[in-house]
Structure formats: structure tokens, C-alpha cells
């Protein structure tokens, strides 16, 4: 627990964390100090002067809050006339050469310059000379498009590339009103986290080619979620919008702060993986190549399960813990072999020791926690022995090439319970569409043994059932989410006495014995 100190802001006593800079310390109790160049992950640079405040203790009349630690008894002034004047002056300075093209700027609605103009300035421009013209629409690589005219030269993007990715592609060249952020000639952004500069840019100077002009941000619903792109489980916002009478469409994933998991950032691949939630999805049930109602397909599947003497159930390492226990209970009930074989999800050597992991699945740790076998030999033997394979969304196309897959499944009838209409689904005798992770709630365990929960963000006109529900429809005794969660508690002692809604927002670090099980 951090030490607390009491200090005064505009004469009002507040209790804040000792030693934090004034922007963060006072910000934590809901009092804003405007700032442009400071970012908690990048530290204080002290170049924008937007955060100047007064301290009534004999030091100079104005100090940068980003560089001033909170101390007991400090008297901080935010509303004195001379402070309001400096805020006006800094805003005027920032806006002298700014194009004010908010109507066509993607940042409008989440722009610090716009917000601060409304809160701290609201004055007419006094400019009577032509503005300095700079370059617009510059391709800086990795899908980042730069507008030099909108840039306030706060240096956040430059520091991100130096301090976080340590690739140093960006720099500030020239001085005074000709200063601009640039790449070195012929050396564009070249790192796997580059699109984070779009988020940390406080204005619309760094935009994402992928998101540009697609949607005004005030039309987007911003729901919390967890990226399923790899075993890190980075926290994200799922920004989506549902046009009238249509399905919800996801427009972007953005990082969501979780100091225990991903801090302030996410990788570009995970960020752009929102497209898989929208595209290539399976929405209709199929028997052979005939589209049939879900009821018909499920009825046929139940008959097939009853008929098969030997059934193999394959689970995806992306399933939630609740789905896994539901399917495990189904396997026990019908006497099926259960496997979580998914070696193809692992890309050896792709992890970078920061966020990106070799394992491109979200919940492999969950398979281990529930004692589900993932060995290749056992899986392949079970396929040979089985008449029926029930595949719960495991993308076997990652583990086998087309001809291997054809050979593997040639004598086994297959039910694909699947989110996507892909080559594995095309080989199936029955296909059942299911919800993907943005469309249901559940929990997963990441590569650091942190259990995290997420909830449904996206709604379709005809919502698809999730794997837990489909398992129940196929005969799993765990019929409801509540029953599946109760079953989960038998495997994860850390969940005893904790309701799903009380799992900490930053996740639940599993205890020693559970962690040992996860890595076993």
C-alpha cells in the first residue's frame, strides 16, 4: 500500500499518494491538471508547459506539475489568474499553426487539444500572418499516417520508440515553428508495437491507416475485453457500433491499462485481430453442404453422438474456462476421449520477451488447470480409434497442412462447433456456428498464471450461442453458466468464495499449487 499524504488543491484538502507527480497524484482524486507531453508510461519531458501550476511555498511562481512530486502540506494552486493566463498562452501557442481541421480529423472527440481549448481557452485566434505549412498524410510505416501540421511536438511518439520498443525510428528535426516529427530517410517505423503511437499522440497527428475515416469516435461503444491473439491476454477496449437493423461491427481494438498484464500498450497484430471477429464467420448451421436450422443440425448431432461407439472431443485452447468445464462434463457423460491438442497454435521463437508470446492461444493454461491432455500422439491415436470427432473450435488447420488434415479425418465423421467458416469447417459433416470471444463472457488464464474475466461486448441481430451453451444442448450436465462456474471452483481453489463479478479488474494471480498445475 503506497504512503498517503495530505495536501491542498485550491485551498481544499485532499489525500493523495506520496511521491507521485502532481498530475497523477491529484488526477487520482478526480482533479485534472492539463498536460500534453507527460504520459505515465513515458515519464515527464517537461516540454509542453501545459501543466504549469502554482505552489504557495516561496518557490518560483509556476512549476511543471509533471516534474513536481506530491508532498505533505503542499499548497497547490490551479485556479489563480496567473495560472489561467499561462494556460491561455500555451493553448494560443499550440494553436498558432494548427490547421483546426477537426471536422475531418479522426482524433476529434478524443483530442486533448480540442478538450483543452474548450476547458482552458475558448478565444478567437489573433493570427494575422499566414500559418506555417507542413506535410500531411505522410506514410510513416506500419500503418501509421502522420500529419505534421497537427503535431504539437510533445515528443511522446519519439520517446515511445526510444524507451518502449527501443527502435528509435522517430525524431524531431528543425527548431521553433519549423520543428516536426520525422523518420530517417528510407527508414520507416519498423516494430511490432508501432500503432501505439496513434493512441499516445494527444492530438490527431498520428493516425491509423486501418481506422482512418471509418467511424466518428462518438458513435462507438467502448467495451472492455481481453485480446485472444496470444497467451498474454492483453487488456483491450472493443470499440464497436451497431448500425440500425444490422449486426454490431467492431472498428478497432485499443489498449486498456492493466499494470499486472500489459501496462498501457498492446501489439499491432493483436490490435488488428479485431478483423477476425467480423470476417469469415459462420452464421448458419450446416449438414453436409446444406444450410439447415440450428435445431435441425443439433438434433442430427445428438443422434450421431448416440450412434457413435467411440467419440473424440477436441477443445480449442482459446475456449474460456467455463466452456472447457462444460465440454469436459459432456465428454465424461458420453464417455468420450477429451483432447486439447493444439501444437499449431505455438509459433516457436515468435515471442519477444515483452508482450508477444510464442503461444497464439488465449487459454492453454486453462487446459492444464483442468487436466486436459494435449499430447499429439494421444490425439492422433484417438482420431484413428474414433468414429466421431466433436471439434469445439480447434483450428486444426494450424497444426496440419491440407493433405495431412484430409488424411487425418478421412475415416472420422466430424462435427465442427465453430466460429469461422474455414477449411476445417469445410471438411466437417455437420457445422454448428458459435459465438466468438467478443460475443460472450468468461474467464481465461494467461501465460503468467493470471486469471482474467471478460464480458460480452458485441451483439448480433441473431446472437449465436457460445460453446458452453452448445455443449449443454448436446448433453453436458452443466446447463447454465452458474453451474459451469461452480464446477470451475473445484479445480481452482483461488475462486473459492469469489463470485465472478468480484474477480479483481487486474486479474487474479493464481496460487502456487495452481500455478504448478498450469505449467506442469
| Chain contacts with ligand FES (rule: CB under 6 A) | 35-38, 44, 46-51, 64, 66
For ligand SF4, the closer of residues 271 and 328 by Cβ is 271
Which entry of ligand SF4, ligand FES, none binds 49, CB below 5 to 8 A by partner kind?
A: ligand FES
Q: Minimum distance from CB of 146 to ligand FES (Å)?
A: 20
* Stretch binding ligand SF4 (CB under 6 A), from 203-211, 377-385, 429-437, 468-476: 203-211
Q: In this chain, which of 66, 336, 355, 471 binds ligand SF4, going by CB under 6 A?
A: 355
Q: In this chain, which of 5, 51, 55, 152 binds ligand SF4, going by CB under 6 A?
A: 152
Strands 450-454, 508-509: pairing kind: antiparallel
CA distance 330 to 473: 10
Grid coordinates in use for 125?
485566434
For ligand SF4, the closer of residues 304 and 318 by Cβ is 318
Q: Minimum distance from CB of 269 to ligand SF4 (Å)?
A: 5
Would you count residue 351 as binding ligand SF4 (CB under 6 A)? no
CA distance 317 to 308: 25
- The DSSP code sequence of 120-155 is II-------SPPPP---SEE-STTEEE-TTT-----
CA distance 74 to 115: 28
Would you count residue 151 as binding ligand SF4 (CB under 6 A)? yes
Q: Minimum distance from CB of 64 to ligand FES (Å)?
A: 4
- The DSSP code sequence of 245-272 is TS--EEEEEEE--BTTTTBT---HHHHH
**Phi then psi dihedrals of residue 423, to 5 deg:** -70, -30
Grid coordinates in use for 463?
446472437
Q: Minimum distance from CB of 479 to ligand FES (Å)?
A: 54
Q: Minimum distance from CB of 90 to ligand SF4 (Å)?
A: 14
For ligand FES, the closer of residues 64 and 433 by Cβ is 64
Residue whose C-alpha is closest to residue 324's, from 384, 277, 270, 365: 365
Grid coordinates in use for 167?
527502435
Q: In this chain, which of 55, 76, 90, 153 binds ligand SF4, going by CB under 6 A?
A: 153
Q: Minimum distance from CB of 27 to ligand FES (Å)?
A: 12
Burial class of residue 201 in the structure, from the number of CB atoms within 10 Å of its CB (0-12 exposed, 13-18 middle, 19+ buried) = buried
CA distance 158 to 353: 22
- 87-126 per-residue burial string, b: 16 or more CB within 10 A, e: under 16: beebbeebbebbbeebeebbbeebbbbbebbeebbeeeee
- CB of 290 closer than 8 Å to CB of 471: no
Spacing of C-alpha 65 from chain mean position: 30
Strand partners, 115: none
Would you count residue 227 as binding ligand SF4 (CB under 6 A)? yes
CA distance 138 to 173: 15
Which entry of ligand FES, ligand SF4, none binds 64, CB below 5 to 8 A by partner kind?
A: ligand FES
Q: Minimum distance from CB of 39 to ligand FES (Å)?
A: 9
CA distance 504 to 456: 17
Would you count residue 26 as binding ligand SF4 (CB under 6 A)? no
For ligand FES, the closer of residues 35 and 232 by Cβ is 35
Q: In this chain, which of 51, 86, 234, 450 binds ligand SF4, going by CB under 6 A?
A: 234
For ligand SF4, the closer of residues 240 and 328 by Cβ is 240
Which entry of ligand FES, ligand SF4, none binds 143, CB below 5 to 8 A by partner kind?
A: none
Which entry of ligand SF4, ligand FES, none binds 48, CB below 5 to 8 A by partner kind?
A: ligand FES
- 372-383 per-residue burial string, b: 16 or more CB within 10 A, e: under 16: bebeeeebeebb
- CB of 230 closer than 8 Å to CB of 359: yes
Which entry of ligand SF4, ligand FES, none binds 368, CB below 5 to 8 A by partner kind?
A: none
Would you count residue 445 as binding ligand SF4 (CB under 6 A)? no
Give Cβ neighbours of residue 166 (< 8 Å, ≥ 6 apart): none
Which entry of ligand FES, ligand SF4, none binds 51, CB below 5 to 8 A by partner kind?
A: ligand FES
For ligand SF4, the closer of residues 201 and 428 by Cβ is 201
Which entry of ligand SF4, ligand FES, none binds 260, CB below 5 to 8 A by partner kind?
A: none
CA distance 270 to 228: 8
CA distance 161 to 73: 38
Q: Minimum distance from CB of 488 to ligand SF4 (Å)?
A: 22
Would you count residue 356 as binding ligand SF4 (CB under 6 A)? yes
Would you count residue 182 as binding ligand SF4 (CB under 6 A)? no
CA distance 104 to 100: 9
Q: Minimum distance from CB of 107 to ligand FES (Å)?
A: 18
Which entry of ligand SF4, ligand FES, none binds 361, CB below 5 to 8 A by partner kind?
A: none
Would you count residue 254 as binding ligand SF4 (CB under 6 A)? no
- CB of 4 closer than 8 Å to CB of 17: yes
**Quick one: how many helices (H) and strands (E) in the chain?**
16, 23
Which entry of ligand FES, ligand SF4, none binds 38, CB below 5 to 8 A by partner kind?
A: ligand FES
Q: In this chain, which of 233, 340, 366, 397 binds ligand SF4, going by CB under 6 A?
A: 233
Which entry of ligand SF4, ligand FES, none binds 206, CB below 5 to 8 A by partner kind?
A: ligand SF4
Q: Which residues bind ligand SF4 (CB under 6 A)?
A: 151-157, 181, 201-203, 205-206, 227, 229-230, 232-234, 262, 266-267, 269-270, 355-357
Amino acid at each position: 500500500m503506497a504512503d498517503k499524504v495530505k495536501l491542498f488543491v485550491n485551498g481544499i484538502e485532499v489525500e493523495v499518494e506520496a511521491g507521485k507527480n502532481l498530475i497523477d497524484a491529484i488526477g487520482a482524486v478526480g482533479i485534472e491538471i492539463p498536460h500534453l507531453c507527460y504520459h505515465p508510461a513515458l515519464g515527464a519531458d517537461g516540454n509542453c508547459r501545459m501543466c504549469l501550476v502554482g505552489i504557495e511555498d516561496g518557490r518560483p511562481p509556476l512549476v511543471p506539475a509533471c516534474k513536481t512530486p506530491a508532498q505533505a502540506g503542499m499548497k497547490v494552486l490551479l485556479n489563480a489568474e496567473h495560472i489561467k493566463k499561462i494556460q491561455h498562452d500555451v493553448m494560443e501557442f499550440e494553436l498558432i499553426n494548427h490547421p483546426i481541421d477537426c471536422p475531418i480529423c479522426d482524433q476529434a472527440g478524443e483530442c486533448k487539444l480540442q478538450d483543452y481549448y474548450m476547458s482552458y481557452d475558448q478565444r478567437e485566434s489573433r493570427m494575422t500572418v499566414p500559418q506555417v505549412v507542413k506535410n500531411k498524410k505522410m506514410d510513416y510505416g506500419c500503418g501509421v499516417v502522420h500529419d505534421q501540421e497537427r503535431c504539437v511536438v510533445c515528443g511522446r511518439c519519439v520517446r515511445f520508440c526510444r524507451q518502449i520498443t527501443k527502435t528509435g525510428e522517430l525524431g524531431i528535426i528543425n527548431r521553433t515553428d519549423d520543428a516536426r516529427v520525422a523518420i530517417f530517410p528510407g527508414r520507416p517505423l519498423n516494430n511490432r508495437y508501432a500503432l501505439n503511437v496513434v493512441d499516445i499522440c494527444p492530438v490527431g497527428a498520428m493516425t491509423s491507416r486501418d481506422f482512418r475515416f471509418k467511424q466518428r469516435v462518438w458513435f462507438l461503444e467502448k467495451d472492455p475485453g481481453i485480446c485472444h491473439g496470444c497467451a498474454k491476454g492483453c487488456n483491450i477496449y472493443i470499440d464497436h457500433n451497431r448500425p440500425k437493423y444490422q449486426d454490431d461491427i467492431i472498428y478497432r481494438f485499443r489498449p486498456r491499462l492493466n499494470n499486472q498484464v500489459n501496462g498501457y500498450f498492446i501489439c499491432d497484430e493483436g490490435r488488428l485481430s479485431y478483423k477476425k471477429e467480423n470476417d469469415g464467420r459462420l452464421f448458419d448451421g450446416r449438414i453436409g453442404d446444406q444450410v439447415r436450422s440450428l435445431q435441425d443440425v443439433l438434433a442430427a448431432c445428438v443422434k450421431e453422438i448416440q450412434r457413435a461407439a467411440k467419440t473424440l472431443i477436441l477443445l480449442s485452447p482459446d475456449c474460456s474456462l467455463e466452456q472447457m468445464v462444460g465440454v469436459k462434463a459432456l465428454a465424461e457423460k458420453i464417455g468420450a476421449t477429451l483432447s486439447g491438442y493444439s501444437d499449431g497454435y505455438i509459433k516457436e521463437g515468435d515471442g519477444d520477451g515483452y508482450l508477444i508470446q510464442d503461444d497464439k492461444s488465449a487459454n492453454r493454461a486453462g487446459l492444464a488447470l483442468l487436466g486436459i491432455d494435449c499430447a499429439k500422439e494421444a490425439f492422433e491415436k484417438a482420431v484413428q480409434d474414433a468414429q466421431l470427432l466433436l471439434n469445439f473450435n480447434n483450428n486444426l488447420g494450424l497444426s496440419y497442412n491440407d493433405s495431412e488434415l484430409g488424411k487425418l479425418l478421412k475415416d472420422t465423421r466430424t462435427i465442427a462447433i465453430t466460429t469461422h467458416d474455414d477449411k476445417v469447417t469445410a471438411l466437417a459433416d455437420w457445422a454448428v456456428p458459435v459465438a466468438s470471444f467478443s460475443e460472450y463472457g468468461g474467464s481465461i488464464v494467461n501465460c503468467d498464471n493470471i486469471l482474467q474475466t471478460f464480458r460480452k461486448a458485441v451483439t448480433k441481430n441473431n446472437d449465436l450461442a457460445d460453446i458452453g451453451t452448445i455443449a449443454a444442448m448436446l448433453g453436458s450436465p452443466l446447463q447454465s453458466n452458474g453451474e459451469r462456474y461452480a464446477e470451475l471452483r473445484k479445480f481452482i481453489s483461488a475462486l473459492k468464495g469469489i463470485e465472478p463479478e468480484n474477480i479483481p479488474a487486474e486479474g487474479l494471480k493464481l496460487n502456487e499449487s495452481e500455478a504448478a498445475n498450469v505449467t506442469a
